[in-house]
Every structure is written in C-alpha cells, then in structure tokens.
C-alpha cells in the first residue's frame, strides 16, 4: 500500500510539473513576442497595453502586418494568424500548440480590428484557461 501511495504521489507531482511548465511556456512566448518584462503579469489587459504602446490606434494595416512579421507571429510554428480582409480584421492565436500531457493550458487570441480605410481601430486580447 505504501508503494502504491508513493507511485501515485510521484505521478501527481510529474503531472503538476508538466502542467505548470505549459502555462509558463505560454507566458514566455507572449513575453518574447511583445517585449513584456517578467515583473508584469501576462493577463489580457497587460498584453493589450504592451501591444498598444508599440502599435497605436490609427496604425495602418501594413504597419500591423510588419509588426507581426518582425516578431514571427504566425510564422514561428507556435502561433497562427488569419487575415480576414473582408471583415477588416487580423486574428492571431498565440502559443496554441499543446502537447497531450498538458492537461491545463492558456490560449491567447489577439484580434486587430480595422476601420473602412484600413487604419487600426481596436485591439482585442482574450485568454482562455482550459483543461482536457
């Protein structure tokens, strides 16, 4: 019985470490993309502020595309961007690739919304914490 408890405890520790590692990995990816210091929490409001400081409202669509390209967002294998020009929006999912053993994860979606003249109107950052 003692061995069974020890084995189950070890499995729970390993599970916890891999899950925490997944969340930390996502945060590191977000920090790298937007130059966020470790002292700032990776929550939608802070991510939005970090992007807005570098890409203010009124920026052109081409500036937004360069911003994403310079950071390899949508081209690095850890993120994907979809350009919906017909609705005036670029939507990027960040750190969306997860391993099956990552039972808990945080996914980020960032939508860059443009007005009729192709100027940045709004940036919407959403995070979803989910499990298997």
Q: Is 95 helix (H, G, I), strand (E, B) or coil?
A: coil
Percent of the chain at pLDDT exceeding 70 = 77
> From edge to edge, which strands make up the β-sheet containing 120-131?
79-84, 89-94, 104-114, 120-131
When the pLDDT of each residue in the chain is averaged and rounded to a whole number, the result is 83
**Per-residue confidence band for 115, with pLDDT thresholds at 50, 70 and 90:** very high
Write down the pTM of the prediction.
Answer: 0.77
Q: What residues does each domain of the chain span? A: 2-131
Q: Which residues pair with 130 in a beta bridge?
A: 105
**Token pair listed for 40:** 């700032």
């Amino acid at each position: 019985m003692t061995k069974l408890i020890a084995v189950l405890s070890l499995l729970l520790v390993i599970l916890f470490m891999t899950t925490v590692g997944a969340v930390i990995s996502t945060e590191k990816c977000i920090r790298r993309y937007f130059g966020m210091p470790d002292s700032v929490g990776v929550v939608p409001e802070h991510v939005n502020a970090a992007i807005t400081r570098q890409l203010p409202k009124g920026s052109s669509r081409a500036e937004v595309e360069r911003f994403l390209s310079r950071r390899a967002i949508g081209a690095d294998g850890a993120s994907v961007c979809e350009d919906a020009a017909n609705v005036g929006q670029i939507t990027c999912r960040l750190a969306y690739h997860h391993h099956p053993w990552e039972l808990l994860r945080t996914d980020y979606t960032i939508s860059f919304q443009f007005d009729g003249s192709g100027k940045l109107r709004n940036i919407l950052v959403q995070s979803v914490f989910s499990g298997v």
